[in-house]
Chain A
């Protein structure tokens, strides 16, 4: 079972996919002679050292940008960020003040929120209704419609951008938040329906049955029974969708039509890269502001975050 359906059950059911498991060095050392045990302890310390080195290597790029974002412009241009770690320290908030006040990054942060919040709630809501029907209602064509949604899961977004842009232009909503909300709702939908349906269908049937016998309407079952029970799945999905929209560049680039007043952080930072090139003091702080919220979500809701990212990876 585990091997057939590698992503959803095995990872979603784990408490926190990042947490460690049982097989520690002790397991390896069990039932060995003292000499063998010594060899294993030495080799496991070696492994620990290797793991620490890999983890440090992985952290260095982000850490470098983080340090740079607090260094004065002249220092960034003339010396490597690692020299800034040695005293005398000259850290400053200038770069942050500069991008927030004059480069429109503050507005972009707000725009990102304005885009991402409805861009998350809308698809999750629409998907939850559909997923409930797919899981617990009978209607002709149900399996075929659902299979179509599974197929849409991996369709490259590029297949839709041109015609959708024409639709929006005809409706005269290109460049508005409405356009980008609608687009994100559609693009997030197949995965959200897929994930929620499998979660809903796995709930015990007695719940729905007895509620129906008591005369509860579908809407009542949905809001009073299904939603409270689905909080873990919804949390993972909401975080995944939010991250997807927050970090999206392509959809914003196309449907906001280069309107700088409405550009989210990704577009604003990409524009800074293009216009500033190697003028790094602006870029460092701007990029870090764009990462701040995702990192806060990562550290505060790690379990749901990791689950969401893992489950969501099947999305096209």
Chain B
């Protein structure tokens, strides 16, 4: 990257200059369509949503921060925020950890690419498709009847009572998060696996010669060396999980205590017509993402500077 941007910068100075006004005008013609789309469909709506979040349900009366205080005081809303936090923490930790462990494991076997493909395939499936697949896995029949869902068939074989995975509030959020983990672990694995390839094998060999066991090597050498990549992967998961919508929409519709912010946003805006509260929910998502936005911009500028 350093060499690439270096040459690009050097060349810009060498490039023959035409009359500035004309070449600038040409440049604007080239970016005009993109700027149009960004301004009309992204920037204006974002500003408008922020504005609307300070108004009532029909956007007719200024209510200051009432929508926000509602989100953080109303019990139903707090449950939604709590669920989203659960998704965020568990989803990120489990996908990144599993992705890393599997990446380390597949690195040592001959069937590496087949195994990686098997774990990556769910990325090709839509959340809707995954929802149907897992509805089927989680299917429930009362005790004594034939269990058609695989999970209940297994646990009843083990002598446990069948579970209503998607309805029982003690497990349903975790059951939904498991679907996400199933879909995105492959992504984490592939990126982390690429980073693992670049951990010096001399370093690992030296540690082994010194008598370090594989667990020590994993925590003391591999994890610290690839930690920048872990951060990037975890950031990606956080962005995804903050806005999680489809899985909840398809599998529970946000019922049984599984609602999340993006789902509630959809209901408030397009079912209940409460524009103010919906906009405030969207703003909460935006605010949560701003640190990542800042991080991205800083990283980009560092890349350019080098």
Instruction: Tell me the smallest distance from the CB of A235 to a CB of chain B, in Å.
Output: 16
Q: Is the CB of B108 within 8 A of A309?
A: no
Q: How far is the CA of A187 from the CA of B40 in the complex (A)?
A: 11
Q: Is the pair B286, A159 in contact by a Cβ cutoff of 8 Å? A: yes
Smallest CB–CB gap between B278 and chain A, Å?
A: 7
Smallest CB gap from B110: residue in A: A24
Contact A162 B45 (CB under 8 A): yes
B71 at the interface (CB under 8 A from A): no
Q: Determine if B33 and A18 form an interchain contact, defined as CB atoms under 8 angstroms apart.
A: no
Task: Give the distance in Å from the alpha carbon of A204 to the alpha carbon of B16 in the complex.
Answer: 16
Q: Does B4 contact A (CB under 8 A)?
A: yes
B37 at the interface (CB under 8 A from A): yes
**Of all chain B residues, which has the CB nearest A137?**
B27
Closest chain-A Cβ to B252's Cβ sits at a distance in Å of 11
Q: How far is the CA of A145 from the CA of B38 in the complex (A)?
A: 10
Which of B26, B133, B197, B239 is A65 in contact with, Cβ under 8 Å?
A: B133
Cβ–Cβ contact B31 & A129, under 8 A: yes
Output the least CB separation between A299 and chain B (Å).
9
* A2 engages B195 (CB within 8 Å): yes
The answer to whether B124 and A291 touch across the interface, beta carbons within 8 angstroms, is yes
A5 to B5, CA, bound (A): 13
Interface membership of chain A positions 136-178, coded 1 if the CB is closer than 8 angstroms to chain B and 0 otherwise: 0111101001011111111111111111100100000000000
Q: Is the interface of B mostly helix, strand, loop or mixed?
A: helix
Decide: B113 and A20 in contact? CB cutoff 8 A.
yes
Among B45, B196, B233, B303, the residue within 8 A (CB) of A164 is: B45
Are B270 and A254 neighbours in the complex by a CB distance under 8 Å?
Answer: yes
Contact A23 B107 (CB under 8 A): yes
The answer to whether B182 and A160 have CB atoms under 8 Å apart is no
Contact A185 B37 (CB under 8 A): yes
Complex interface residues of chain A between 155 and 213 (CB less than 8 A to chain B):
155-164, 167, 182-183, 185-187, 189-190, 193, 201-202, 204-205, 208-209, 212-213
Contact indicator A162/B279 (Cβ below 8 Å): yes
Q: Are A159 and B283 in contact (CB under 8 A)?
A: yes
CA distance A181 to B27 in the complex (A): 25
A96 contacts chain B at the CB level, 8 A cutoff:
no
Asked if B194 and A247 sit within 8 Å, CB to CB, the answer is no
Beta-carbon contact of A167 and B40 below 8 Å? yes
Partner of B124, one of A140, A150, A295, A314: A295
Is B262 a contact partner of A60 (Cβ separation < 8 A)? no
- The residues of A that contact B185 with a CB separation of less than 8 Å are 58
How far, in angstroms, from A311 to B267 measured CA to CA in the complex? 31
Contact between chains at A5 and B299 (CB < 8 Å) = yes
Measured between alpha carbons, how far is A218 from B292 in the docked complex, in Å?
35
Quick one: CB contact mask for B83-114 with A, threshold 8 Å, 1 for yes? 00000000000000000001001111111111
Cβ-defined contact, A290 with B126, below 8 A: yes
Residue of A nearest to B145 (CB): A78
Q: Which of A1, A76, A286, A310 contacts B187 (CB 8 A)?
A: A310
| Chain A hits for B27, CB < 8 A | 133, 137-139, 142
Interface centre among A130, A182, A295 (most CB of B within 10 A): A130
Chain B hits for A142, CB < 8 A: 27
Contacting residues, chain A, for B122 (C-beta < 8 A): 58, 62
Quote the shortest CB–CB distance from B122 to chain A (angstroms): 7
Given contacts A148-B43, A159-B283, 6 further A-B contacts (CB under 8 A): A18-B113, A64-B133, A77-B148, A160-B45, A295-B121, A310-B190
| B interface residues (Cβ-Cβ under 8 A, vs A) | 1-2, 4-5, 7-8, 10-12, 14-16, 23-24, 26-28, 30-31, 33-35, 37-38, 40-46, 48-49, 52, 102, 105-129, 131-137, 139, 146-150, 153, 182, 185-187, 190-191, 193-198, 201, 226, 228-229, 231-233, 236, 239-240, 242-243, 245-246, 249-250, 253, 262, 265-266, 269-270, 275, 278-279, 281-283, 285-286, 289, 292-293, 296-297, 299-303
Q: Show 29 residue pairs from A and B whose CB-CB distance is below 8 angstroms, ordered by the A residue.
A: A6-B195, A10-B194, A11-B194, A18-B116, A18-B120, A24-B108, A51-B106, A54-B115, A58-B122, A62-B125, A79-B148, A126-B33, A133-B27, A145-B31, A154-B289, A154-B296, A155-B293, A160-B46, A162-B282, A209-B15, A218-B26, A247-B129, A249-B127, A249-B246, A249-B250, A270-B250, A283-B132, A306-B120, A316-B289
